[in-house]
Amino acid sequence: MPVIKASSLRDLKNRVNIHDIVVRVVALKKAGGGRFKGLCPFHSEKTPSFNVSADKGFFKCFGCGKAGDAINFVMETEGLAFTEAVEAIAQRFGVPLEYEEGTGGPSRETRSLRQEIFEIHDLAADHYRQAFLAATPPGEFIRDYWVRNRRFTPELAEEFRIGFAPPEDGALAAGLYKRKFSEDALRQCGLFYVRDGAVLTLGALRPRFRGRLMIPIRDHQGRVVAFTARQLELTPADDPAREAKYVNSPETPIFTKSQLLFNLDRARAHVGEGHPFVLVEGQLDALRCWSVGLRTAVAPQGTSITDGQLGLLRRYHPQVECFFDSDSAGQKAALRFLPMALKAGLEVRFLVAAGATKLDPDLLFLERGLAAYAELRAGAPTAMQFACRSLLPDPAAASPEQKSRTAQALFEILAQAESSVARAAFLAEIAVYLRVPPAALERDLRAFLARQSGSRYGAAAAAAPAAPAAAANGDSHARATEAHLLFLCLHHEPLLHALAAQLPHEWIDATHAAGRLLDRILAEAAHNGWSGREGLDQLLETEEEKSLVASLLFEAPGDEDLTKIANEGVRSLQRRFLEPQQRQIELEIASKGTNGDPDLLSLLKQRAEITRQLLNPPKLSLGS
Ligand code: ZN
């Protein structure tokens, strides 16, 4: 196991700013005091509660509680083990690492499964790319197909690493097999069919993609994590998915299709004021947009859009233009999409053509380029206008009942928007469109929302957990005492010294991280003095401990009497420690009766001592 030298780790931490690491994943805004804020990558939210302290080198989310340092952040967001995360950061920022002697350098054996599968995908993308460029008849076929059928340029193929899976393709498996990837990685990478239970030999790896155009799918950090493969004339007859126009990689440890948007890694660098995301239906649509200079297009992975994907978009930019096919399936998809987008806090517009002609983004942009986008935008209806038109195309001819039904359907949609300002604006649009008095519509909406919240409350009450919650609370309450004392130690050094001198070690429950850390810090302070924050870093042994400290450091103490709070904490640890003993002694005394048992006297003495201690809890004296 390679072990990175502690000095090297410290050096890395000093040279790399956590802001520069986090900003690759989260759009950060200055929040004053060396702090930055953004939308949390670990839970879904619309208002930022994810904080980064550049000075302290920690992040903390006040929404979901996740916290830690730069290394934790990379571990969590990229799914890496500790050493891998350190190496990834070092590589990115060009900081050399030193390893403890005899532990070796970065080695294949310690790569995680995910890391291996990332590597396999990178190699596979190269392999397919070479086949695309090969001076062979299939190579010529695919380049011709790309340029003549799809009408894309060779440069675009280069830029997006477009490839080709040969109809007979033993070379990919052989190449990977030779590189000694683990059996798990080869089985789980999704590029091969492997019969369950079959011994993994080279022959057992049958390629999933054969005779297809290969589009690499990158995650939002730009790593190839999957492929979409398009059917060609060359797709062999014995391909189990022969009839499928598109075949996608299955879900793997690095690919969750509901959490990924095609081209997001590049589009997110181009969004900004006046440049919203453009959501298109397919990868080739997104490539078409890119090729004409519309760089903010993203596409879901073949299936309908998910909340996770919309949350991902929202993290980078709040506006999205929705560009679906203008056929009825596309319109239905758009109507399903709208409430989800509002719920995610996105501001939506729809790119639709004026006439009833079928509008295919690929074709439109191919023929008319960026000018077509400008025209579509100029006439783009807002979310509510779009919904109104789709639900009731001819309001002038509609009966009052039809209008009322339409209004109810629209309420369903706008109820998803949390901002009351947005709701009011939507309502105004609806009133104009349906030609009904705004006040009447507002009354109906209020009635609708009241009904809805009534039923939601009922559902929540029914789903509420019963008794077990109490036990869990008790447990977390017990732990909270140590965490609280730890918090006081971190923020008020005199208390740290007082506790180090006066809190008996055995009162601390060291079965959880807060207790272990409190115990360790107090012991350090008692025996070796205390060297401040610098010393603290060295005492943190696990990721859980680091995360705990990060989260405690982020909270500021109020102006309460900290010593009084510390005394209450000590008192509660004392009772937790002594009271069970007291009960035990009472039991033993009761069982002895009064027959002059020699143990009885000793038990009575012990009881008296415990009672005395409980009546005189320790009072911390500061600065003595
Ligand atoms: Zn969070």
Give the Cα separation of 317 and 261 in Å (integer).
Answer: 14
Query: Is residue 123 pLDDT above 90, yes or no?
Result: yes
Q: How far is the CA of 521 from the centre of ligand 1 (A)?
A: 28
CA gap 136, 114 in Å, rounded: 34
- Ligand 1 centroid vs 596 CA: distance in angstroms? 64
Q: pLDDT at residue 107 above 70?
A: no
CA distances from 398 to 314, 382, 403, 444 (A): 37, 22, 6, 18
In order, the DSSP letters of 524-571 are HHHHH---HHHHHHHH--SHHHHHHHHHHHHSPP-SS-HHHHHHHHHH
Other beta carbons within 10 Å of 307: 14
Ligand 1 centroid–CA 42 distance in Å is 5
Exposure string (b/e) for 135-157, b if CB count within 10 Å is 16 or more? Answer: eeebbeebbebbeeebebeeebb
Quote the ligand 1 centre to 336 CA distance (angstroms): 27
The confidence score (pLDDT) of residue 534 equals 65
Higher pLDDT, 153 or 360: 153
CA neighbor of 523 nearest in space, from 501, 540, 542, 538 = 501
Over range 26-44, report the average pLDDT: 87
Rounded to whole angstroms, the Cα distance separating 337 from 328 reads 14
461 Cα: distance to centroid of ligand 1 (angstroms): 25
How many A from CA of 219 to the centre of ligand 1? 20
CA 60 / ligand 1 centre spacing (Å): 8
- Measured in Å, residue 64 CA sits from the centre of ligand 1 at 4
pLDDT (0 to 100) of residue 595: 62
| pLDDT mean over 508-532 | 81
Both tokens of 380, joined, read: 């783009």
Check if the beta carbon of residue 554 is closer than 8 Å to that of residue 51. yes
Structure tokens, 99: 């390893």
Question: What DSSP string describes 11-28?
Answer: HHHHHS-HHHHHTTTS--
Going along the chain from its start, the domains and CATH numbers come out as: 6-93 (3.90.580.10), 113-255 (3.90.980.10), 264-380 (3.40.1360.10), 396-455 (no CATH), 475-615 (1.10.860)
d(CA 431, CA 472): 50
Nearest residue to 334 (alpha-carbon basis) of 344, 347, 322: 322
For residue 79, the CA-to-ligand 1 centroid distance in Å is 17
Ligand 1 centroid – CA 48 distance (Å):
9
* 216 pLDDT higher than 90: yes
What is the model's pLDDT at position 267? Answer: 93
Write the pLDDT tens digit of every residue in 379-406.
888 888 888 988 888 888 889 899 999 9
Cα angle for residues 219, 223, 224 (degrees, 5° grid): 85
Tell me the average pLDDT across 31-51: 87
Other beta carbons within 10 Å of 99: 15
Kindly report the length of the chain: 624
Tell me how crowded residue 360 is: count the other CB atoms within 10 A of its CB: 16
Confidence of residue 553 (pLDDT cuts 50, 70, 90): confident
pLDDT digits (tens, 9 = 90+) for 138-172: 999 999 999 999 999 999 999 999 999 999 888 99
pLDDT at 624: 46
pLDDT in tens, 197-210: 777 787 788 999 99
Instruction: Please tell me the distance between residue 314's alpha carbon and the centre of ligand 1 in angstroms.
Output: 14
Helix (H, G, I), strand (E, B) or coil at 197: coil
Q: Does residue 620 surpass a pLDDT of 60? A: yes
User: What is the pLDDT, as a whole number, of residue 459?
Assistant: 42
pLDDT at 101: 74
If you measure from the C-alpha of residue 455 to the centroid of ligand 1, how many angstroms do you get, rounded to a whole number? 28
Closest C-alpha among 35, 79, 31, 81 to residue 54: 35
Ligand 1 centre and the CA of 35: distance in Å?
16
Helix (H) or strand (E) holding 163: strand 163-165
Amino acid at 420: S
| CB-based burial label for 46 (10 Å; 0-12, 13-18, 19+) | middle
pLDDT of 314 > 60? The answer is yes
Half-sphere exposure of 599 (CA within 13 A, CB side): 8
Give the per-residue pLDDT at 79: 78
Ligand 1 center to 204 CA (angstroms)? 43
**What residue has token string 């934790």?**
72
CA 550 to centroid of ligand 1, rounded, Å: 14
d(CA 615, CA 102): 57
Residue predicted with more confidence, 313 or 462: 313
Distance, CA 509 to ligand 1 centroid (Å)? 28
